[in-house]
Amino acid sequence: MKAYTLTHLHQLPELTDLEMPTVKDDLALIQLTASALNHRDIWITKGLYPNIMLGAVMGADGCGMLNGQEYIINPGLAWGRNESFQSPEFRVLGVPDDGTFADFISIDRTYLYPKPDHLTSVQAAALPLAGVTAFRAIIKRAQLKTGEKVLISGIGGGVALMAMQYAIALGCEVFVTSGSDLKIAEAISLGAKAGYIYHDPDWPKKLLSDAGGVDVIIDGACGAGFNQLVKVCLPGARISFYGGTAGKIEGLNPQLIFWRQISILGSTMGSDADFKDMIDFVDKYRIVPVIDSILPFEAIPDGFKKLMSGEQFGKIVFQH
């Protein structure tokens, strides 16, 4: 079969001929119909991820066929029994385990979920990693409630966009930040109230003047910009973050946090229950992931280049 494997660090994955995966015990052989990129795939090619294994098939997100039924694959393997945190065995599909950038994948049936009918294969492939990460961060950790005001940072990101769609589905007022006016305009066309350029040091003042502050913040960047997030928190606000694209949080003012009873919550991927609840939520509200581009399987390296450029708005998906 054909697969994109990580052959060298600091290079894009290479198209490789591999033996068909072995299928034993509870494993199922899935013929992949579509897959999608995540920032994680970029970190892996740069060597900035734990447990990197050269030669492994890349790709965490995928959707595929088994016995005439189409399934979404949960890429979070071996979460374990505790809903509060993942087990030491937890890992994400696609390096070191062989992933979804391939014709076939052999995977335990417990990670397969029937594709909701309202989604096409490519839309379903855009969902797993970003969908479950956003779901746990905003619904399970931040406990978002209907009618609350929410800020989602870096709205061009895959996880950020899913979080925005969940918040809009729940009837929340959504505000966003981005490095691009164009992406803010796109977010507003999808239902966001307003957006702010995160490079503008005065954006918190503008948000405070427009909205008075927010109840929930979802962030994937951290870095110096985290201090700006704290400024727009209403008393009792929850900040849930799942990534550190912009690096360490420095210079955080403790008074701003404890006096206003702010909760800062770290969140990673999601348990099997989170994944199931996410699929049910997407099904109930008929949510369709925002897709930036659909490329053929052979153009997977072009997808990497586009995500590295940061130009995307939504998921980059591959049709197999």
239 binds ligand NAP (CB under 6 A): no
| Of the candidate residues 13, 156, 204, 289, the single one contacting ligand NAP (CB under 6 A) | 156
Residue among 87 and 261 whose Cβ is closer to ligand NAP? 87
Cα 73 off chain centre by = 14
131 binds ligand NAP (CB under 6 A): no
32 binds ligand NAP (CB under 6 A): no
Residue among 70 and 177 whose Cβ is closer to ligand NAP? 177
Q: Which stretch binds ligand NAP (CB under 6 A): 39-47, 51-59, 120-128, 231-239?
A: 39-47
> Minimum Å distance from CB 95 to ligand NAP?
13
> Minimum Å distance from CB 243 to ligand NAP?
2
Both tokens of 83, joined, read 């809903």
Helices (H), the chain: 39-45, 121-125, 128-135, 158-169, 181-189, 203-211, 226-231, 254-258, 272-284, 300-309
Residue among 104 and 111 whose Cβ is closer to ligand NAP? 111
DSSP β-ladder status, 76-77 and 91-92:
antiparallel
DSSP β-ladder status, 27-36 and 104-108:
antiparallel
- Contact code string over 191-230 relative to ligand NAP, x by CB under 6 A: -------x---------------------xx-x-x-----
Dist. CA 127–CA 218, nearest whole Å = 18
Q: Which stretch binds ligand NAP (CB under 6 A): 32-40, 139-147, 232-240, 296-304?
A: 32-40
Output DSSP code: residue 102.
B
The per-residue b/e assignment along 104-120, b for 16 or more CB within 10 angstroms, e otherwise, is bbebeeebbbebbeebb
Q: Which stretch binds ligand NAP (CB under 6 A): 81-89, 112-120, 152-160, 231-239?
A: 152-160
> Minimum Å distance from CB 118 to ligand NAP?
23
Find residue 91's DSSP bridge partners. Answer: 77
